[in-house]
Chains A and B, each alone.
Chain A
Amino acid sequence: MFAKGPSHSTALGPGCAGPPLANPQNFGQAGPGAHEHGSHQPSCGAAPFAVDASMLRSAGSQPHKHTQSPYVTGSSVLGITYAGGVMLASDTLASYGSTKRYKSVQRLVKVNETTVLGAGGEISDLQYILNMLDDLSTEDYCADDGQSLSSQELYSYLSRVMYNRRNKMDPLWNSLLIAGLESGKPFLGSVNMIGVAFSDDHLATGFGSHLARPLFRKKHRPDMSEEEATALIREALEVCYYRDKQSINKFQIAKVTTAGGVSISDAFALPTKWEYQAFVDPTRDAVGVW
């Protein structure tokens, strides 16, 4: 077998197979010299080239690719309900693999006057989702009838979007939390990349589902005050920060309350304590390492 030539020629442009002009190559002909009798032989004596018909079939576009794994990702999002409101929290990091690539990405987003969205997973997919939600909000604005989608409607919509994309084997690589007020009552819902959707009065995605939810299960009450809720979510953020390698100490908290609507805090840092002996002098008991 001969190696396949490049699917894209720098000389001919995207969608056309063939050698670059300066360095003509034989690409997958059935043996040395096979092309000499073929119709591909240019009369000018240059190396033969051909247009790859299978590439042209898709009207000059690149073959469609599905997300096999995420590239730039956000970590956990936490959410709890409390008396008169609901609260989401996350850090502001977008990682590129193990690189802390973008440190000020807002992963909590106001969707409309009663709803916020928090997202973990692929950031570009999040931006695509936000574009879709913007379109919905624009539709509401243009209709000018004073109605907008409620948080539960957005939750249902997003669950269909995520499920439909998984059906196409082309998922949006996110875990989403939707928080808002549904006829005055706090609502908190979760949708993941394969369309599993459920709501609860405390939720967390990613690492948070292992680190934060046990805390929530122990300490959360639906009737807790905003101060108690804030304290609980800060505690949970701290635990996530200590144990989740892909997180940074820069957080935001989003609230939807019956009193004040949607508000998203400025980024803040939590006081942390790293003065454990093993942190201060990690090599004390391991002479020779550094």
Chain B
Amino acid sequence: MFRNQYDTDVVTWSPQGRIHQVEYAMEAVKQGSTAVALKSNTHVVLATLNRADSELTSSLQKIFKVDDHLGIAASGLISDGRSLCKFMRSECLNHRYVYESAMPVTRLVREVADNAQVCTQRSWKRPYGVGLLVAGHDKSGPRLFYCCPSGNYYEYLAHAIGGRSQAARTYLERKHEEYPDASLDGLIGHALQALDQDFKELDEASLQPYIQALRDAEGGDGGGGADGAAPMES
């Protein structure tokens, strides 16, 4: 992107009707690594590619538990993601304290989006530089949302964000008819394939049973592999 005179702050419109600072924040999401999420009629799965920057470091944690029924995957500025995660945790705890129940996913997503929106309309604030895939389970069943720095939020059946997420989205779109009836292991298989279609990067030992199952099936149908992950295990 190239600079122009209308992009120095978030409260200035460009003559084309754009707010460049917000668009830059949306670009920041693409700087992160891929995060994938998809849901069936019973489960939602979040997956991120955790690539270490060098041999000498660990990778960043990009999936966070918010509450027993809800988790997020972040891409972009992960520090902003942590800050939003903290906010979401406290909202969920407050809701549990007052109502003794899990916070509905839609309501929490709305709160987060409202928070992000404020940053797109105040001269002294900076929009968040992180995209969040919010996966949760409430009275209405499994839900999956994408919250972006602009303050918009969308509900998805399956979505991928972050750098090189186009390939993942293409995969998810191609297979989407299989998701609603998929098993948990099937969903995990789809998530892994969306992240990394030839499994070059997924060397984590705990993932190998899933990958092996996918290789065995080879058709790419997913299908049962290792034991299912417990809800909200991180």
Direct contact between A and B in the complex (CB less than 8 angstroms)? yes
A45 proximity list for chain B (CB < 8 A): none
B106 to A145, Cβ gap below 8 A?
A: yes
User: A185 at interface (Cβ–Cβ under 8 A)?
Assistant: no
Indicate whether A157 sits within 8 Å of B140 (C-beta atoms), given known contacts A145-B104, A145-B106, A147-B104. no
- Complex Cα spacing A156 to B101, Å: 9
- Complex Cα spacing A17 to B225, Å: 82
A153 to B101, Cβ gap below 8 A?
A: yes
- Complex Cα spacing A150 to B100, Å: 11
A289 proximity list for chain B (CB < 8 A): none
CB-CB contacts below 8 Å: B70-125 with A? 97-101, 104, 106-107, 110
A143 to B98, Cβ gap below 8 A?
A: no
B138 proximity list for chain A (CB < 8 A): 147
User: B139 at interface (Cβ–Cβ under 8 A)?
Assistant: yes
B140 to A149, Cβ gap below 8 A?
A: no
The closest CB in chain B to the CB of A153 belongs to B99
Smallest CB–CB gap between B117 and chain A, Å?
16
A160 to B97, Cβ gap below 8 A?
A: yes
The closest CB in chain B to the CB of A143 belongs to B107
- Complex Cα spacing A153 to B107, Å: 15
Smallest CB–CB gap between B63 and chain A, Å?
25
User: A31 at interface (Cβ–Cβ under 8 A)?
Assistant: no
User: A288 at interface (Cβ–Cβ under 8 A)?
Assistant: no
Size category of the B interface is: 10 to 19
Number of interface residues of A (CB under 8 A): 11
A149 to B99, Cβ gap below 8 A?
A: yes
- Complex Cα spacing A50 to B97, Å: 49
Return the CB mask of B189-215 against A: 1 if under 8 Å, else 0. 000000000000000000000000000
- Complex Cα spacing A153 to B101, Å: 7
Return the CB mask of A139-162 against B: 1 if under 8 Å, else 0. 000010111011011001100100
B140 to A147, Cβ gap below 8 A?
A: yes
**SS class, residues of chain A in contact with chain B:** helix
- Complex Cα spacing A157 to B98, Å: 5
A152 to B100, Cβ gap below 8 A?
A: yes
A150 to B110, Cβ gap below 8 A?
A: no
The closest CB in chain A to the CB of B99 belongs to A153
A150 proximity list for chain B (CB < 8 A): 101
- Complex Cα spacing A146 to B140, Å: 9
- Complex Cα spacing A61 to B186, Å: 66
A146 proximity list for chain B (CB < 8 A): 140
- Complex Cα spacing A203 to B119, Å: 50
A153 to B100, Cβ gap below 8 A?
A: yes
- Complex Cα spacing A145 to B110, Å: 11
B139 proximity list for chain A (CB < 8 A): 147
Which of B97, B99, B107 is in CB contact (< 8 Å) with A145? Answer: B107
B107 to A156, Cβ gap below 8 A?
A: no
B101 proximity list for chain A (CB < 8 A): 150, 152-153, 156
Smallest CB–CB gap between B78 and chain A, Å?
29
B100 to A143, Cβ gap below 8 A?
A: no
The closest CB in chain A to the CB of B100 belongs to A156
- Complex Cα spacing A150 to B95, Å: 13
B97 to A143, Cβ gap below 8 A?
A: no
Question: Which of B97, B100, B140 has the most CB atoms of chain A within a 10 A radius of its CB?
Answer: B100
Which of B98, B104, B110, B140 is in CB contact (< 8 Å) with A156? Answer: B98
A160 proximity list for chain B (CB < 8 A): 97-98
B106 to A147, Cβ gap below 8 A?
A: yes
B99 to A143, Cβ gap below 8 A?
A: no
Smallest CB–CB gap between B145 and chain A, Å?
12
B107 proximity list for chain A (CB < 8 A): 143, 145, 147
- Complex Cα spacing A269 to B219, Å: 74
Which residues of B approach A to under 8 Å, CB–CB?
Answer: 97-101, 104, 106-107, 110, 138-140
Provide a sorted-by-A list of 9 A–B residue pairs whose CB atoms are within 8 angstroms.
A145-B106, A145-B107, A145-B140, A146-B140, A147-B106, A147-B139, A152-B101, A156-B101, A157-B99
Which residues of A approach B to under 8 Å, CB–CB?
Answer: 143, 145-147, 149-150, 152-153, 156-157, 160
Give me 20 other A-B pairs in contact (C-beta within 8 A), A145-B106, A146-B140 excluded: A143-B106, A143-B107, A143-B110, A145-B104, A145-B107, A145-B140, A147-B107, A147-B140, A152-B100, A152-B101, A153-B99, A153-B100, A153-B101, A156-B98, A156-B99, A156-B100, A156-B101, A157-B98, A157-B99, A160-B97
